[in-house]
Chains A and B, each alone.
Chain A
């Protein structure tokens, strides 16, 4: 995507190059952005993108100069594939290259810019018409109407269920209100494959600033003052970690980006690495300069092939332009990055296991009595941060620690990226300031619960996190508050559950996941999780015994006290948090052999509502064990003795007469 240029040898070179790129961008009349993020891609976004490329390159005279961009995640995965079409004046900002916005009939344009002025701060972002659920066959119409004609294709707009109005831009969609993109600032705006797009939006300007005018001490002071905390889960103060790494004895020092995302339902890091790989790389170079390291590694799981490719290409681009390698921008500082692929073991997201894997050994954790910043990768000082943490560094340097610290809560600064999934209406990728309440995230942004069901709990922090009930919906989301609630920030997965979810079964699901992902090195994790899972399986199968809950709690305490790594120490959290908020549900399973959410097979009964039943006989014919009897046009009855609770009758009934009790 980027044009071949010689290496940039100074900050001045970079400025000149940027102005050249912006000049090129200003000659484009219309920009089409096709979201090819993790949510849109499986829905056929790549074909949509190809359609726009083909249309732009087709025969005949073109009345408009069009730039088609393949972007990272634009957020509203529920409605993908997403396409935005913006005219040149909507790419506005204070860039001298771009014209003023003309009088228009297209409604308001969000007040942030992406070309020319730097990171768009605050709300999301590409201006222009926002199309959703675009299929490849819609491309021709969008091209004709919007790209060439400047008109709106009404049928592809987002329609708000509540108000019934159509939204023409992202800014008019409730999902995007409250978004504040910092780490993901350019995700969905810049072409994910293009270093030019990144540079045009002042990418690598933070690096140039650091190399030209800041000492390593300055950089560290700035990061410390920003209050940035590790985004991978633990929330350790980043500045403090960098300080320890800088002060550690031993050469060489290593720098590592953790992209081994593995929580069920989480795709924040994937979206980030696919959408703005250069933000991670730039953050790492700055980190390398600050702690005195010249070797960086990005550890990314092999199940993220697109992320691997993008990062790989981005490193090559950065090397070609002179952001990586010897004597970066003429500063005398040298730094390079290698991409390492992980085999997809969950435990390899743990720092010591990750480093063992990076060394080519089995990915198993070791004791951290000596921290990895002192002796990590190959026994040398190693600074490991999550990819999202790294991506936060360039904006902090560019806009200052004060700007960053103004976002968020007193102890949790900045923003956090969440993947909002589960039984919520608007699933998607969300970046919001810390301190936003769960209610705002789930109901205002997420649009509430699907199918008019009621909210039951939200699971945050992945398998190490916990479930937070409706009573805590107004709690602010920050590192400390979530921990107090018995959950954790984790890397940012947010799974929303409705009334039909059995919390005991949910705990069982996570424990099963952890049992499969435990490396098996230490006794408590390997044996303890298996013991807890056994108890949960007994309870959900209706064979729970009095005292099982106490046994679960004892095992949980044992794991927390004796397991080797964080995976084992926190493995009981899904059980502990559900026990804390939904103990009654556990007790019902044991004492009454009843699943209140009616999810655990055998712990509830199927009934046919005599009023609703029309006697059509479909359920009777489909029942695999002949447990249903009844005359034609008369209400049918289920024989509980024969019933195996398979649920077929409920699935086939067209009158919703079969209920669970």
Chain B
């Protein structure tokens, strides 16, 4: 079993793990933006730069996808690694200076202002980490959005910038977005994915009317989601809260005295 030395800390590791895996397990913080444990590492944001010993020279690598194959010495807090991460953070902050999430992360990295002008256009603070696109493709299997265009023209987009015909409005893209670019917004009986403009009917709890999911997403997960998700979607169509209330009522119905009084009937 290889040993990974993170700065001074000696950590046991498995072959094939990444430096980030080892660091997280051992409580060593390395900042990330485009990384998500449920997705393939993409290494596009370059915020997780660390130095590794290549025998005589130190190479800058991304912790999120550098595989451990043998014993490895890593410098996380070296001057060069810190400077690199701060530099990348400055570039991101210059792109989207308004983003509170980026500002918080930058502050944690010791950066108050980018010190650089804004020279690229970020739609709704998008930093092009690609998490949304990968979640949609890898986990949902829909690929309703993708990264279109090249270089500074690059953007997350539905085909031809029109509302997507394939999108099931599950909202996974909005859930993984680290800077809140994508929002899953409910308007009455419809849900809209902002900024793509894709809309569809929403499914509500049959009892209380709370939002359950987009209708298309509910249909899509039927038969393939985890047990908890499936239970939520089938049956009478109750939200978890109403379902629990109903269950409680059914169970208490068998108790002596016909169960506890409902809250409204309780004497003041």
Residues on A lying within 8 angstroms of B by beta carbon are 345, 362, 366-367, 369-370, 515-524, 526-528, 530-531, 533-534, 554-555, 558, 561-564
Contact = CB atoms under 8 A, between A and B. Distances in A.
B44 interface: yes
A338 B49 CA distance: 39
Contacts of B87: 524, 554-555, 558, 561-562
B45 interface: yes
Interface in B140-163: 147, 149-154
A523 B62 CA distance: 13
Interface of B: 43-47, 49, 60-62, 65-67, 80, 83-84, 87-88, 91-92, 94-95, 116-117, 119-120, 127-128, 130, 147, 149-154
29 contacts: A367-B62, A367-B65, A515-B151, A517-B151, A518-B151, A518-B152, A520-B128, A520-B149, A520-B150, A520-B151, A522-B43, A522-B44, A522-B45, A523-B44, A523-B92, A523-B127, A524-B87, A526-B120, A526-B152, A526-B154, A527-B92, A527-B94, A527-B120, A530-B120, A531-B117, A534-B117, A554-B87, A555-B87, A562-B87
* Secondary structure dominating the interface of A: helix
A564 B43 contact: yes
A523 B151 CA distance: 10
A362 B117 CA distance: 30
A562 B66 contact: no
A138 to B, nearest CB: 46
A520 B153 contact: yes
Given A524-B46, A526-B128, A527-B94, A515 B152 contact: yes
Contacts of A564: 43-44, 46
A529 to B, nearest CB: 8
Contacts of A366: 43
A533 B152 CA distance: 12
B46 A526 contact: no
Given A367-B43, A369-B67, A523-B127, A558 B147 contact: no
Given A523-B127, A562-B84, A564-B46, A369 B66 contact: yes
A557 B259 CA distance: 73
Contact of A519 (B65, B83, B120, B150): B150
Q: Which of B66, B95, B119, B127 has most chain A Cβ within 10 Å?
A: B119
Contacts of A527: 91-92, 94-95, 119-120, 152
B44 A521 contact: yes
Nearest to A519: B150
A256 B18 CA distance: 29
Contacts of B43: 366-367, 522, 564
A527 B92 CA distance: 8
A562 B60 contact: yes
B137 to A, nearest CB: 11
A521 B152 CA distance: 10
Contact of A563 (B46, B95, B147): B46
Nearest to A532: B119
Given A520-B151, A520-B152, A555-B87, 5 more contacts: A518-B150, A522-B45, A523-B127, A526-B120, A527-B152
A563 B91 CA distance: 12
Given A367-B62, A520-B152, A531 B80 contact: no
A562 B88 contact: yes
Nearest to B127: A523
A521 B153 CA distance: 11
Nearest to B45: A523
Contacts of B88: 523-524, 558, 562
Contact of A534 (B46, B62, B119, B149): B119
Contact of A369 (B61, B95, B150): B61
A554 B86 CA distance: 12
B204 to A, nearest CB: 39
Nearest to B80: A561
A370 B119 contact: no
B84 A561 contact: yes
B63 to A, nearest CB: 11
Nearest to A346: B150
A516 B152 CA distance: 8
Contact of B150 (A345, A530, A558, A563): A345
Contacts of B84: 558, 561-562
Given A369-B65, A564-B46, A523 B91 contact: yes
Nearest to A558: B87
Nearest to B64: A367
B154 A520 contact: yes
A478 B65 CA distance: 35
A503 to B, nearest CB: 22
B116 A531 contact: yes
Contacts of B62: 367
B150 A561 contact: no
A153 B229 CA distance: 88
Contacts of A362: 147
A440 B153 CA distance: 43
Nearest to A527: B91
Given A526-B128, A530-B120, A562-B84, A519 B94 contact: no
A527 B129 CA distance: 13
B79 to A, nearest CB: 12
A370 B149 CA distance: 27
A464 B236 CA distance: 63
Nearest to B66: A369
Nearest to A518: B151
A534 B91 CA distance: 13
A518 B128 CA distance: 14
Contacts of B119: 527, 530-531, 533-534
A362 B151 CA distance: 13
A524 B46 CA distance: 8
Nearest to A520: B154
A534 B118 CA distance: 10
B39 to A, nearest CB: 14
Contacts of A530: 119-120, 152
A554 B114 CA distance: 14
Contacts of B44: 521-523, 564
Q: Which of A345, A520, A533, A534 has most chain B Cβ within 10 Å?
A: A520
Contacts of A533: 119
A232 B150 CA distance: 24
Nearest to B52: A369
Contacts of A554: 87
